[in-house]
A and B are shown apart, each in its own frame.
Chain A
């Protein structure tokens, strides 16, 4: 919301709980996931029993030492698109707050999904952080294939548009590496983020991820 150093005024603070309620009321969080073995080939990392090939140096580094991956996707549903669209006509500042809160909400849905996924895994298994298509040099185009593999259009109503953007708007696809040995880096950082050059948080020395 353009936060740098200042403090929010009373109007903005008053808007937060109200918008939070709207986001909670209108979200219908849904997610899908699948666990796959992977194999390194000359062309990239092949996700076994699928036609998905993960290419690029960054994903290779991210998955180094991993025997398999979790493919996951999540969405807050199109209701949130409607909510943001309508709010923009009624009160743009409210729309900005709702938009920001929805971005937080979809990350929370992913966190919850991760917990569920991990509960099904062997407790000795090590996990990388969630890596999404479009980070670093991993092409964003593979989102369509990931959604197809997870049957996401049919099962949770999550699709890609022609430009490979996800629809509904507040949605995520991600890849989590699974390893028998500790993985590094264990945390997501700025260096692999596409927004690192223009990020408002980073400019003032902050991070968007704890």
Chain B
């Protein structure tokens, strides 16, 4: 019915505010408005009716906050409130031709990692609302600020209902939502997920929202909905400043000419506003848009348009990397996240994420890696796995529009991967190989590319979301194949009208001076039209080749980016300082690179354990003692620890390259307890403990009691450290300790701002640690 309205009407008029109206009828500030649908249905029905009388063709049910979190203390279930509200809305629309929308707002808690609500929890909460509101004519998500939460909602709607879906997010004047989501990211993600209309509501008046709407028109071909506030509120009284006539005029003169066709109001608007809007729209003509959305992928806060060569960083991949494999086996997420940050600092614009290792649970690791990376980097991600289930799990939790790496010409791959790409609105890498392997000739690879494009198109995947990889073969083994790859790439780009992607590092395998060969091949590929080079951005020659190409191809206008990247860099390698410095000096003065160098040298004449016991620990002990007496501050102590960490990394690398067992003085489990998201204290403790040679199993923050027990038992750990910042989470600490006592034989140390030695004893801890330094003393006592 809604889609019929879209086809037939020039404009569709939605309703105005519900909350403002309910407060006018005596609702207390902060009281749950949704319950009125049960206690006073006539009030709610009258409001709907007055909007319909004013010209609304769609009214929102009184269910904005009707979810299990917000209704927890209302005395009613979600089903009761949602059913009653939708019923009231349907009664009001009956016989009028107007439609009743199931209105859904944000849940009221922040998503991970800033908050503690997980994607799955959000999905279940929304699913409950959607099932209860099955009688509505369409589903509306409004006032959303977190793209991940909205995605959970849209998936819950798509998978549990066949009703049309309309989404509006709330943007500030800086064109971002509270969580930093951009207009383009919203549009790319929602259109990919297959919603029916999208737009903006709340926060600002029609005049201030103009910029946001104009931006949105560039990024979607779907109908655009705009529901602004009645101007801006007075901070003291909360009254909005725009009268109904002016609101209507601003909408018709400012918003309609941009191409928005679904219009209504938000905070401060009343039936009178909708009446004026309806009157003003009678003489308005809709503006026909002819938007062509560019090829692009995004995270919530950054959109990368594939209109020039863009660097995909390849380093998050265990292939051929011993340290990476070890990190995966140890569940060491920080290692992966650091690899991500490092590549972005070097110039990566998209990160490939591959965490496949036969002996680990790739699906769980991929979910953790995607969530973790999205918490610390803002570039879009390329989800890289050969297992469809891993791809799907990652696609669900990814916030934004990612790339799927990859599909190939094999029937099984086409059948399993492409539907996922379509369902989750991703872009996809198509490898030009099939069951017979990689064709030798450009023609053979072109044929597979053509097949992939046809099959993708048939599912509704557009050419702008298909990136074909013509596959690099090693020049030392198949020299004649190098040009075949490049010729195939050129043809695919020109004749199929899709984008191209290519991993180039393989080209130089087995040859001397690999950097030279690889960067030359990269430049040749760029000249043939390569859009997405997959490279190691940490190698300056590679990133530099892309930057130089952009300059020479007149893409980097006035060489702005190139100069910015290299202006302050002395391209000649600095002469290494001749001055000898000691490891102690490096650690005390926070000299990370020097510390690592000295360690490398020491390793020639000392065993790893000797370096740790004779050099690292005494120096850290001194820093710890200085910290205790107030000679140095916490940042200095941690600076010393960071240098020690660099020294440890050198030792670790050497041991791994020799396949020796890693040095460890014992394992310690660390966790910030269930319900607590304040983990910086725990992380400081971790840095220090690691630098004293302990292996830390870091379970992160907001950790379930059972998870602490499981990690302790599974790894046969003798010391567990728990942190909590808030008085409310001390209870969790107590529960965790109780469960540990029941299941394991371990020592427990606790710390956190509100803890005292007495309280620590009371909740059953063995040790109270007042700071990071003391946790090391405790570890020494317990583990030696």
Contact = CB atoms under 8 A, between A and B. Distances in A.
B109 A161 contact: yes
Interface in A84-108: 84-86, 88-97, 99
A77 B684 CA distance: 23
10 contacts: A4-B629, A81-B114, A93-B635, A94-B635, A96-B684, A154-B106, A165-B675, A165-B726, A165-B728, A194-B754
B635 A195 contact: no
A197 B756 contact: yes
A164 interface: yes
A12 B635 contact: yes
Contacts of A140: 726-728
Interface in B349-399: 375-377
B334 interface: yes
A182 interface: no
Given A12-B636, A15-B635, A85 B145 contact: no
Given A11-B639, A89-B341, A78 B178 contact: yes
Given A4-B630, A50-B30, A96-B680, 5 more contacts: A28-B178, A51-B28, A79-B180, A81-B114, A94-B635
Nearest to B180: A79
10 nearest A-B pairs in the assembled complex, by CB-CB distance: A157-B178, A4-B630, A163-B675, A149-B30, A2-B634, A93-B638, A93-B635, A167-B115, A167-B110, A78-B114
Nearest to B752: A198
A139 to B, nearest CB: 9
B641 interface: yes
A92 to B, nearest CB: 5
Interface in B587-640: 589-590, 627, 629-639
Given A149-B29, A165-B729, A95 B676 contact: no
Contacts of A116: 235
Nearest to B687: A92
Contacts, number: 182
Interface of A: 1-6, 8-9, 11-12, 15, 28, 33-35, 49-52, 77-79, 81-82, 84-86, 88-97, 99, 116, 120, 134, 140-141, 145, 148-149, 153-154, 156-157, 159-165, 167-169, 194-195, 197-198, 204
B108 A163 contact: no
Residue among B117, B634, B678, B683 having the largest count of chain A Cβ atoms under 10 Å: B634
B341 A90 contact: yes
A78 B180 contact: yes
Contacts of B770: 198
B732 interface: yes
Nearest to A83: B376
Nearest to A98: B680
B683 A6 contact: no
A8 B636 contact: yes
A198 B493 CA distance: 66
B633 A134 contact: no
A1 B677 contact: no
Chain B interface, >50% SS class: loop
B28 A167 contact: no
B10 to A, nearest CB: 31
Given A2-B633, A12-B635, A82-B376, A148 B30 contact: yes
A162 B674 CA distance: 10
Given A2-B637, A163-B676, A89 B627 contact: no
B376 A141 contact: no
Nearest to B631: A6
Contacts of B31: 50-51
A149 B754 CA distance: 28
Contacts of B729: 163, 165
Nearest to B673: A163
Given A92-B684, A165-B677, A78 B179 contact: yes
B271 to A, nearest CB: 22
Contacts of A82: 114, 180, 375-376
A11 B588 CA distance: 11
A197 B639 CA distance: 28
A5 B627 CA distance: 10
Nearest to B345: A90
B202 interface: yes
Nearest to A3: B633
A168 B341 contact: no
Residue among A116, A157, A204 having the largest count of chain B Cβ atoms under 10 Å: A157
